[in-house]
Amino acid sequence: MSPHAELPRNLGWLRDTVVEILIDQEGFRSITPTFRFAGYSTNTRSLDSSKKVIEGGAAQFVPISRQTFNFHYAPFDGQPVLRRISINGSPRDHVSRQATICLKSNGVYIVRGSETSIIPAKEVSGDSSTEAPKLRWKLDYFVDDRRGSGRREGEKTFTPLTFSCSPLLLHPLQGKKIRLMHVMKKNVVTKLVAEKMELPNATSCRSPSPLLCEAAPSSPPPLTRTDPSRAHLWNLHRRFQSHGHPSRLERSESSGAKASSPLGSNRMDGTYNRGQQPVSQRHRRASSAGEICVTDLNQGYQIVDEKKGVKARNGDPVFVLSSNRLDSPAIPYDRHILPPSKLSELLENIENAKPMLQKVEVSTSLSPAPRNPKVPALK
């Protein structure tokens, strides 16, 4: 079937229409790709960004020959601009706004625009509405990196794909003469911006059966991090393993495994809670400055109560100073560093000590002589 078979009779003039689009970049590298009529469609959802149905149908055009044009892209350089759309070499312009041709990344782009119809609505749809209809247009193009011997950094290729529009947009009466006021208005009005088409999800399930879709997930599940991070590396260190860390104690108690110390005795710091499995601790190297460790609340009560008979006040947790030996008795944290008797003895020695007075020789300096001495007058 011919592509012109569904074309209405009142749109027969579209068959010989050739669309010319003028594009340039900062006043140079001007190109004029041409499109020929390819067909007519009643599906107009592609012309509108919100996928609304537009009355009047859509005329589709394709390039007369496959052409690729070279442009340059840089973050601070001006991008190509669509200046004008004309037909059959006519000096009339059919769009009132310019459009920016994006070249930032490779892919397919779409630039859309709309114009107000000059032709009365009565001639378009046959109704008596006074509101002028909107005429839509759309340009698809492809951007890629330039390849070849003469390639320079930042150069892109621009390949026009298709051009679609409302049929009446290309009507000879819709075109405007290119005058000074027309050019100034187009430069003042905000430019249209091309949008990049997102590729469909390649991992989406295409099976008609919903069971197969559920069995095949659209994306792989997130991987659990098994690589040792800084925290994991510290947990694997032997110095960390030698301490009774609360997380390790909980894991040992939950597993229910009976642990034994390297020395062969099932005890921790000389005692353990009743009804609980004892947890072993490795004997680590002695430190020159001693260590402070925080014991469990219940365990701390038993250690302090059984060893020293000291009870915690107001339910506060008990901090215990433990030596490096496993069988050493626990010492409460509020113990004095020096006994009171030793402290009083030191204070008495300081008071009884007589300060040694140093002899200081005091020297007096002579006053300077007057600068301007008075000379006695001669008689």
Residue 356's pLDDT is: 54
| DSSP per-residue string spanning 51-103 | ----TT-EEEEEESS---EEEE--TTSPPPEEEEEEETT-SEE--SS-EE---
Of 149, 165, 196, the one marking the end of a domain is: 196
Residue 42's pLDDT is: 83
Residue 325's pLDDT is: 45
Is residue 76 assigned to a domain? yes
The answer to whether residues 166 and 17 belong to one domain is yes
The answer to whether residues 294 and 192 belong to one domain is no
For residue 248, with 0-12 CB atoms within 10 Å meaning exposed, 13-18 middle and 19 or more buried, which class applies?
middle
Q: Are strands 34-41 and 18-25 parallel, antiparallel or unpaired?
A: antiparallel
Is residue 218 assigned to a domain? no
Of 2-16, 265-279, 352-366, the range with the highest mean pLDDT is 2-16
Tens digits of residue pLDDT in 293-311: 444 444 444 444 444 444 4
Mean pLDDT across the stretch 268-281?
48
- Whether residue 116 is predicted with pLDDT greater than 70 in this model: the reply is yes
Residue 47 and residue 91: Cα distance in Å, rounded? 25
Of 196, 230, 248, the one marking the end of a domain is: 196
Tens digits of residue pLDDT in 14-27: 888 999 999 999 87
- 46: helix, coil or strand? helix
Mean pLDDT across the stretch 73-99?
91
Residue 124's pLDDT is: 55
Give backbone dihedrals phi and psi of 210, rounded to 5 degrees, phi first: -70, -25
Residue 5 and residue 11: Cα distance in Å, rounded? 12
Residue 201 and residue 197: Cα distance in Å, rounded? 12
The answer to whether residues 187 and 309 belong to one domain is no
Is residue 2 assigned to a domain? no
Is residue 85 assigned to a domain? yes
pLDDT class of 328 with cuts at 50, 70, 90: very low
| Placement of tokens 């008495």 in the chain | 348
Q: How many domains does the chain have?
A: 2
Mean pLDDT across the stretch 174-186?
88
Nearest to 59, CA basis, from 192, 157, 174, 144: 174
Is residue 208 assigned to a domain? no
Is residue 229 assigned to a domain? no
Is residue 48 assigned to a domain? yes
Residue 21's pLDDT is: 95
Domain with 318, as residue range(s), is 290-344
Is residue 232 assigned to a domain? no
Mean pLDDT across the stretch 311-321?
47
